[in-house]
């Protein structure tokens, strides 16, 4: 068993996310694994003391859920289907996560041609089909050239982008109309390379077996052509803004889920592949490497590439292989930091403890805590802690066009005579 060093370990590391679970569930798994460990015992002690101090000054403050043991967050969501590098910040490291949201990321994805789904990946329902007869390796390579550089991209309707405080996929899953059009985003693709082309019968990627309803297919076809058509459609179909939900209703399920046991909550954040067709898709596919800016959606790229090839395209697989200096490439290239894996976590703390301790020790050494890092934040104090007891009856007094401070006894306006300093005029 790993032994505690007494040093508080915090900072930024990476874990390789497995398929089918959400990024939020990865954080929950880490929270509970770390809370039981010797490696993070010093950080846990500090965290508990800070929480006790906060509760003492603000007893009515909302309590954290049983999953929020450490201060922790991630530096960019991965879809449940996707695997690979997920940046995690723990303790002070959570303050650095915004740097990773803006940095470049490298992906490897598989685009399966011939059909489109409502989610733009094989987790969804089929909404459209088209011929793939003319799709060859040369055609794909030629079309990829137009995706390099700066451009605009429309995010998929099934994404975590928020409109009026509600995520797009929540609109999609509930069947509610968007209150305004889905706007395109400025993105940049610095690397777009075809790694492998598969002809029909040369791969094992499969289509989802479920077809969307005729109504959903009609909506999807209206959204497919592009930004201008999307804008016009939203203006026409959603001119009458959908009524807003009653106060706090959209957060009700989240509040209720906070009281669920960890196993039940994990079930809500596990998304297995839907039933797929019995046979591999009789269609070509392409494995592509992408290095992209923040705000880029690989699912939208897969759809757009299919349209560029006069057909449709769907994302069949996705791996984030690099983000910042962190990677899941094995063996790890020189100068990069390897990601922790779920196999490491399952092997026990004797395996994962030294690995993460090495990464976080280097982070702590290069990010020393400020001298006031452990001081109580003024925002965590109650109002009475700000005032000296002598200021209880202090107030402002209006005198003509001037305002005069009337402080406690001993100040101007009080019953006690003022003390004269050396610069005061003689009376």
Active site residues: 79
Q: Is the preceding omega at residue 72 within 30 degrees of 0, hence cis?
A: no
Q: Six-digit token pair at 223?
A: 């959204």
DSSP letters, 327-353, are E--SSPPTT-EEPB-HHHHHH-HHHHH
Q: Where does residue 308 rank: exposed (0-12), middle (13-18), buried (19+ CB within 10 A)?
A: middle
Which string of b and e fits 256-295 if b means at least 16 CB within 10 Å? eeeeeeeeebeeebeeeeeeeeeebbebbbbbbbbbbbee
Beta-carbon contacts of 78 under 8 Å, excluding residues fewer than 6 positions away, are 17, 23, 84, 86, 320
DSSP annotation of 121 reads B
Helix ranges (DSSP H) in 62-123:
97-101
Which string of b and e fits 216-229 if b means at least 16 CB within 10 Å? bbebbeebbeeeee
Place of tokens 């609109």: 171
Give CA 315 to chain center in angstroms: 20
In whole angstroms, what is the distance from residue 364 CA to residue 326 CA? 17
Q: Six-digit token pair at 34?
A: 């770390």
Interhelix angle 137-144/298-308, rounded to 10 degrees, is 120
In whole angstroms, what is the distance from residue 73 CA to residue 87 CA? 8
* Integer Rg of the chain from CA: 28
Q: Six-digit token pair at 254?
A: 């989240």
DSSP annotation of 280 reads -
């Amino acid at each position: 068993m790993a032994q505690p060093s007494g040093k508080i370990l915090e900072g930024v590391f990476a874990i390789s996310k497995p398929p089918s679970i959400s990024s939020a569930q990865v954080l929950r798994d880490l929270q509970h694994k770390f809370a039981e460990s010797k490696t993070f015992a010093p950080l846990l002690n500090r965290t508990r003391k800070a929480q006790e101090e906060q509760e003492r000054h603000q007893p009515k403050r909302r309590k954290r859920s049983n999953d929020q043991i450490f201060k922790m967050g991630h530096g960019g969501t991965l879809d449940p289907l996707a695997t690979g590098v997920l940046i995690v910040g723990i303790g002070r490291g959570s303050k650095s996560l915004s740097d990773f949201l803006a940095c470049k990321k490298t992906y490897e994805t598989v685009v399966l041609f011939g059909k489109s789904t409502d989610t733009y990946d094989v987790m969804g329902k089929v909404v459209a089909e088209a011929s793939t007869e003319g799709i060859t390796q040369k055609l794909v390579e030629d079309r990829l050239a137009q995706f390099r550089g700066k451009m605009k991209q429309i995010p998929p309707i099934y994404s975590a982008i928020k409109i009026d405080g509600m995520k797009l996929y929540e609109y999609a899953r509930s069947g509610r109309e968007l209150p305004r059009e889905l706007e395109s985003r400025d993105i940049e693709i610095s690397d777009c390379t075809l790694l492998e082309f598969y002809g029909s019968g040369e791969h094992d990627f499969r289509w989802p077996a479920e077809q969307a309803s005729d109504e959903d297919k009609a909506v999807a076809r209206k959204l497919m052509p592009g930004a201008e058509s999307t804008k016009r459609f939203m203006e026409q179909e959603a001119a009458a803004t959908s009524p807003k939900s009653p106060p706090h209703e959209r957060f009700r399920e989240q509040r209720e889920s906070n009281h669920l046991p960890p196993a039940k909550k994990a079930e809500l954040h596990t998304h297995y592949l839907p039933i797929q067709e019995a046979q591999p898709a009789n269609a070509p596919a392409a494995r592509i490497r992408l290095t992209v800016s923040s705000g880029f959606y690989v699912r939208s790229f897969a759809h757009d590439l299919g349209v560029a090839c006069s057909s449709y395209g769907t994302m069949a697989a996705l791996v984030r292989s690099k983000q910042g200096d962190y990677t899941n490439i094995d063996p790890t290239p020189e100068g990069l930091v390897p990601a922790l894996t779920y196999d490491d976590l399952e092997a026990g703390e004797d395996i994962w403890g030294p690995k993460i301790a090495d990464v976080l020790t280097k982070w702590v050494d290069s990010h020393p805590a400020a001298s006031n890092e452990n001081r109580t934040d003024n925002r965590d104090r109650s109002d009475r802690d700000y005032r000296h007891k002598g200021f209880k009856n202090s107030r402002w007094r209006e005198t003509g066009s001037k305002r005069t401070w009337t402080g406690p006894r001993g100040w101007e306006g009080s019953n006690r005579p003022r003390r004269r300093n050396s610069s005061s005029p003689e009376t």
